[in-house]
Chain A
Amino acid sequence: MSLPLKCSLCAEVATVHLSQVVGGKVTKVHLCEACAGKGGAVDPAVFQLADALHAPGPPAELTCPQCGFTDVDFRKRGRLGCPACWEIFGGALSPLLVKVQHESAHVGRAPLGVAPLGQLRQRLAAARTAMAAAITAEDYEVAARLRDEIAGLEAALNPA
């Protein structure tokens, strides 16, 4: 039996083996559990990101005016530079968001003092569906109550 491979970064026994093919050349990296964890290689969520990010891409086209972060930086790091980056790179990130999050819009809570519009939109959609069902079922009492709720939510979402 051959000796166990050692981690490329420290002397521990390697248990994670990665092969990367760049331009037809195969590079093999052997890592121990701890070093692989640090690099995110054993976390499926991060690794999926790396797949998307490490595809060879064009030179930087977008730069965040607030922090100087570019789309090339994002391809390297998989993390953004600052909150304003989301506005700059948001459009380009959309397919990635759908890939890792399956959705592209927030529906949860908002900080105090900020209207939780996502929640309101979700409630509005639910109320409209429920009203249609109530009308089909000829339950006009429920439908009337939902109509009022819908009017209230619409007013909150589109203040005059």
Chain B
Amino acid sequence: MSVQEILADDHDQARASGAQAVVLSTRIRLARNLAGQPFPGWAKAPQRLEITERCITALTELPRFRRGHVLRMAQQTDLDRAVLVERHLVSKELASGQAGAAVISRDQTCSVMINEEDHLRVQVLRPGWHLRGTWNLAEQLDDALAGSLPLAFSESLGYLTACPTNVGTGLRASAMVHLPGLCLSGQMDKVTRALGQDGLAVRGWLGEGTEAAGNIFQISNQQTLGLSEDDILKHLGYWIKHLVEQEWNARRKLALDEGDKFVDRLARSFGVLRHARLLSSAEAMNMLSHLRLACDLGCLPEALRDQVDRLLIEGQPAHVQVRHGSALDSDGRDLRRAAVMRAALQAFPEVGPPTA
């Protein structure tokens, strides 16, 4: 199995569509470990290898992973690993080690990272905002997993994890949100503070320790112990609903207050993406964020949003190189990225005034 197959897969198209105006995707992550086995960070290399193979065998027998992808990190090139990170299929931590693996469902909705910080990190990722549906899928997968592997669990502490920040439910529920309205109106610091005070973490596009390029943020629960899964989901759900409202208020106010200046800002970003010969990753993401906003507000046809979302992924450094067919230096990537954007935006109409 190779990363090329994942990139070429028909399901890839479906995975990149269905995002909503504010919420790009919903994710559930469960941290699980095998009973009686040392955690990956403490296990010796042969133990890690044995655990990897044992988990791969158990996972590939589950119906959800039938005809899925099995990717052992040691067998992947640096570029392929980076592609997996950019597609949110594995974390940077898993990609940077040698002992880990990922088992990914055929439709790329479910993936399990093996030997990351914990033995198993079950992840379900769906486009748009579908907290309950995503959770139900993760719960089914968790039950299937418990039926085939002995999981480390304590009555008083719940699922036992390597790090105390995950013990209990082992659940990290998150939403990937696009907040150009709150960013452009300078409210993002206030929002981050408010969310932080109420137990939610705000991270960048690629998770922990990454910056928020393209006005895209990942919002997730911090607490995993002493709250039921239902409590955690309700809390996140409450805040995301509130955040979506705040974001729309900010967008409408900007459009109303700034008028032509606002449309000009979006149209200029379109112009740059449509004609530039060199584009850095950060610049492309920020301009694509404006284009996405233009689709949401009807300045561009809403149906084009899925294409913008695909470009957000295709503009990432590893994707640009893999699509090109070989590694490129920074200048080469910027040249190639600009060509990808120019070609994709050729069929786009002009940016007009908001209609939504």
Listed in ascending order, the chain A residues whose CB lies under 8 Å from chain B are 33-34, 36-38, 40, 42-46, 49, 66-67, 69, 73, 77-84, 86-87, 90, 93, 96-97, 100-114, 117-119, 122
Contact = CB atoms under 8 A, between A and B. Distances in A.
A77 B41 contact: yes
A101 B168 contact: yes
B99 interface: no
A130 B326 CA distance: 65
A42 B227 CA distance: 25
A36 B223 CA distance: 23
A86 B157 contact: yes
Interface stretch (B30-38, B183-191, B289-297, B306-314): B30-38
Nearest to B224: A101
Contacts of B156: 105-106
Interface stretch (B57-65, B100-108, B121-129, B158-166): B158-166
9 nearest A-B pairs in the assembled complex, by CB-CB distance = A103-B226, A37-B209, A106-B158, A83-B152, A111-B146, A108-B169, A81-B42, A101-B225, A83-B160
Interface residues of B, number: 48
Contacts of A66: 36
A44 to B, nearest CB: 7
A49 B164 contact: yes
Given A82-B42, A106-B167, 19 more contacts: A33-B211, A42-B209, A49-B164, A49-B165, A81-B39, A82-B38, A83-B33, A90-B157, A97-B167, A101-B167, A101-B223, A103-B223, A103-B226, A105-B157, A106-B154, A107-B228, A109-B142, A110-B158, A114-B155
B208 interface: yes
A100 B164 contact: yes
Contacts of B37: 82-83
A139 B114 CA distance: 53
Nearest to A16: B209
Contacts of A82: 36-39, 42
Contact of B209 (A33, A73, A114): A33
Contacts of A86: 154, 157, 160, 167
Interface in B213-229: 222-229
B208 to A, nearest CB: 5
A79 B43 CA distance: 12
A46 B92 CA distance: 16
A100 B209 CA distance: 19
A102 B232 CA distance: 14
Contact of A79 (B162, B208, B211): B162
Interface in B35-86: 35-39, 41-42
B275 to A, nearest CB: 29
Nearest to A41: B209
B171 interface: yes
B226 A80 contact: no
A113 B153 CA distance: 12
Contacts of B167: 86, 97, 101, 106
Contacts of B209: 33-34, 36-38, 40, 42-43
B163 A107 contact: no
Given A43-B209, A93-B164, A106-B226, A111 B153 contact: yes
B222 A45 contact: yes
Given A67-B38, A90-B157, A112-B147, A122 B228 contact: yes
A32 B306 CA distance: 33
A49 B222 CA distance: 13
A105 B39 contact: no
A80 B96 CA distance: 21
Contacts of B247: none
A96 B157 CA distance: 14
A155 B305 CA distance: 55
A106 B147 contact: no
A108 B229 contact: yes
Interface in B195-243: 196, 201, 208-211, 222-229
Contact of B146 (A45, A93, A101, A112): A112
Contact of A108 (B163, B168, B201, B210): B168
B209 to A, nearest CB: 2
Contacts of B171: 108
Nearest to B169: A108
Given A44-B201, A79-B162, A107 B208 contact: no
28 contacts: A33-B210, A45-B222, A79-B39, A79-B117, A80-B39, A81-B38, A81-B39, A83-B36, A86-B154, A96-B164, A100-B165, A101-B226, A102-B226, A103-B168, A103-B223, A103-B226, A103-B227, A104-B226, A106-B158, A106-B167, A106-B169, A107-B228, A109-B142, A109-B228, A109-B229, A111-B151, A113-B146, A122-B228
